[in-house]
Amino acid sequence: MRVSHLVFLIVLNGCWAATLSVYKPLGVYLDPASIVTLRFGMAALCLLLLWPWLPGASPRGRDLARSVGMGALLFVVGQRLQVLGNHLGTAGNSSVLMGLEPVLTSVAAALFLREHIGPRRWIGFAVGMFGVALLNGVWRADFRLAGLGPSLIFVSSFLCESAYSIIGKPVVQRASVMKMLGISLLSGTALNVLIDGQRTFAAAKALPLLGWLGLTYLAIVCTVIGYTAWFVVIRQTDVNVAALTIFAQPVFGVALAALWLKEPLHWGQLWGSLAIVAGLGFGLSRQIKRE
């Protein structure tokens, strides 16, 4: 992995971590399904308007079918599960569960893409998970993991995220990243609108300006820029290497939950953050290449 790719992924994981805190205030005006429909609908519209200027070839044949299916899998099923799980729990609790995503993604990459995961990365994953536990004070008497139902709902969304990366990597090696993403977003949006478009548009009328700004951030920064950058990186890098950077999300997520949503802080978050940084450093120590 290039140094520039690593820095960009760390920054993007900070942006993605903010989605958990942005979802909470949006939930006052919109139900989880409506948030998903509007967020990815706005992202699809953005890429549709830019389509004549998007570089590279469009997915064709089997790759086109995969792109369409990936849109339904992630932008309909996966994201609805994620928003619903976050809505039923807390942003801090979601940050804890987010630590499972890099492990699930890496195991899937090893199984389906035949990627090799070396001992340094396994140790990095283990130290990262330990850091996530410290970060969220799982030993504290006042710690409460959300119920089994909300937790399973949230974690199940990672399976859709992982599948999107595993299925999408071969596609972007033959076609444009942004065109594949655009097709996925358009197919997902079409299905979302078909399911609950009328209710979503009715609810959107009452959404204040701050809510629209939040949705714009989610659509442009976290979706269009974020997913494009992710696939640009994994096109050249093993998925399990890029997935290790997802451990940065709990660090950002807990800090943002405390700042925006006034969720309590504790000293374990300092030690947990240091452990996650150590895990990232060790796990990626032989994967960083000079530009």
Q: How confident is the model at residue 122 (pLDDT cuts 50, 70, 90)?
A: confident
Q: What is the mean pLDDT of residues 63-85?
A: 91
Q: Which residue would you say has higher pLDDT here, 248 or 290? A: 248
Mean pLDDT score of the chain, rounded to an integer? 84
Q: Is residue 202 part of a domain?
A: yes
Question: What was the pLDDT predicted at 141?
Answer: 61
Rg (CA), the chain: 18
Task: Check residues 82 and 137 and name the one with the higher pLDDT.
Answer: 82
Q: How confident is the model at residue 63 (pLDDT cuts 50, 70, 90)?
A: very high
Least confidently predicted of 22-31, 39-48, 50-59, 91-100: 91-100
User: What average pLDDT does the segment 211-224 reach?
Assistant: 95
Whether 143 has a pLDDT exceeding 60, the answer reads: no
On whether residue 273 sits in a domain, the answer given is: yes
Identify the domain containing residue 178 by its residue range: 3-283
Number of folded domains in the chain?
A: 1
Q: Please, which pLDDT band fits residue 214 given cuts at 50, 70 and 90?
A: very high
pTM: 0.85
H-run or E-run covering 135: helix 119-135
Within-domain flag for 290: no
Residue 291 domain-assigned? no
Residue 138 pLDDT greater than 70, yes or no: no
Q: Is residue 289 part of a domain?
A: no
Residue 269 pLDDT: 67
| Residue 288 resides in a domain | no
The sign one gets for the Cα dihedral 212, 214, 220, 224 is: negative
